[in-house]
Amino acid sequence: MATLAAVIASTHHPFYYKASTAPPEERPPFADEWVAKILAFRETLTRARADVLVMVGSDHFHQLWLDNMPQFLVGKAPFYDANFYNEEREFGLPRMLLKGHEELSSHILRGGLDEGFDLAFSNELRIDHSITCPIITLRPEADLPIVPIYTNIFAPPLPRPGRFVELGHSIRRLIDTWPSDLRVAVIGTGHLSLELGGPRQFGPHGPDPEFDRKAVEWISSGDIERALAEVTLDSLWTPGNATHGFMDFMLMMGVAGEGAKADYVDTLDLFHTMEAYFTWYPNGVPA
Amino acid sequence: MSKYLLNKFLFTVDRDPSLVERYRSNPVETVAWWESTMANEILGAHTGEASTWLAFTDIERDALAQHDYVRLFELGAHPFLTLTLFIAMFERDYAEPLAFQKEYAARLSHFSLPYPDIAT
């Protein structure tokens, strides 16, 4: 069976690419600390020696639109072009091309459907910064094949938080039972408290530092029960109007499992939102 | 009221560089043109097939024609779509980094929770 080599949950900050590649005179003052933290985080994936990456993210109204909006979608294609004109325009993100892993896509689609998730699929998916940001931070060579999984955290009505956790559990079971010799890493990105297009946006910190503190505690200790007790679709509006992206972290807690303490935890308090980085090694810390 | 149609305008303009510039420089004309030619286009359907029923209310049309992002927020347009497009159009007019985004937040400061419903 396949080996789940690492489970990684991260915020995705589209400004990292520009902050880390700008010429010295244009680098923001926080760039050096940010780059150092990213390099340390990257090492946690490198050590896992993954062969294939399952990438959980959420399309930001790029390819998926309100005339036909899936709740959970799995890409199944040999390649994925990546990043869009408006991400190039606003964030300076590069165009990318990533390889797909169709066999694992098929396994997750078939198994997910059989486990009760009516997953949508796409045979021609252009992926956006929710997936390319962690490629840039964690695997900038962009050389490993991926299986993209998109969740709807963006366009209500949304699935409830518990459903994200359940999908995480299901992804975990499906990888653990995949008849393959490959080493799989699951990487998912979301947000802590975040406001976009509202009165609390672009402050000196994330809009709700107390939520961020609790969220980091839930994730790092694997406390799914507490997270589910405190987080609802309604409650997520309070820390910031884009905080439903936290449900992608809850999905990743589901992949890691109830009570699974993260082997690596780091945070960075930035303007606008807090960065947070977590890695679990479900089959032991690699040598 | 059609939050969906407001979002469709923001979505289709934001992804087209020429439309971003056209909407920035000539909003009244762009909104009128878009409503008469694009509002009923089904983006994922066969070319030539279209809907027949989509139109802005006067309030929605005016909000778009006046670049009134505060009113768009009040009407329940998706805040991510509004922010992204308005950054593309107006961030360039401000000297300091994030100055437009901070002014945008300040102009929305009279809103408190719960914000206007964005469900479509």
Q: Do A237 and B84 touch (CB under 8 A)?
A: no
Instruction: State both tokens at B93.
Output: 């007019």
Whole-number pLDDT of residue A149: 98
In a domain, B119, yes or no: no
For the cut 80, the answer to whether the pLDDT of residue B95 exceeds it is yes
B3-48 residue pLDDT tens: 999 999 999 999 999 999 999 999 999 999 999 999 999 998 998 8
Whole-number pLDDT of residue A271: 85
Total count of domains within chain B: 1
In a domain, B115, yes or no: no
In a domain, B81, yes or no: yes
For chain A, the straight-line distance linking the first and the last C-alpha, in angstroms and rounded, comes to: 21
Interface test with B, best of A84, A241, A270 (most B CBs within 10 A): A241
Whole-number pLDDT of residue B1: 61
Cα separation of A62 and A119, whole Å? Answer: 19
Confidence of residue A3 (pLDDT cuts 50, 70, 90): very high
Interface test with A, best of B2, B40, B41, B80 (most A CBs within 10 A): B80
pTM, whole model, 2 decimals? 0.97
A241-266 residue pLDDT tens: 999 999 999 999 999 999 999 999 99
Q: Across all residues in chain A, what is the average pLDDT?
A: 97
In a domain, B120, yes or no: no
User: Phi, psi at residue B56, to the nearest 5°?
Assistant: -75, 150
> Structural domains in chain A?
3-280 (3.40.830.10)
Residues contacting A38, CB < 8 A, separation 6+: A16, A20, A137
A29-82 residue pLDDT tens: 999 999 999 999 999 999 999 999 999 999 999 999 999 999 999 999 999 999
Sequence length of chain B is 120
Q: What is the DSSP letter of B10?
A: H
Q: Do A68 and B44 touch (CB under 8 A)?
A: yes
Long-range Cβ contact pairs of A212-220 (< 8 A, separation 24 or more): A212/A239, A212/A267, A212/A274, A212/A276, A215/A246, A215/A249, A215/A276, A216/A192, A216/A265, A216/A267, A216/A276, A218/A253, A219/A9, A219/A249, A219/A252, A219/A253, A219/A262, A219/A265, A219/A276, A219/A278, A220/A261, A220/A262, A220/A265, A220/A278
CA–CA min distance A247, chain B (Å): 18
In a domain, B85, yes or no: yes
DSSP for B81-102 reads HHHHHHHHHHGGG-SSTTHHHH
In a domain, B116, yes or no: no
3-state secondary structure of A153: coil
Domain encompassing residue B15: 3-107
In a domain, B112, yes or no: no
For chain A, percent of residues with pLDDT exceeding 90: 97
B32-91 residue pLDDT tens: 999 999 999 999 899 889 999 999 999 999 999 999 999 999 999 999 999 999 999 999
A to B CB pairs, distance under 8 Å: 78
In a domain, B113, yes or no: no
User: Phi, psi at residue A151, to the nearest 5°?
Assistant: -120, 155
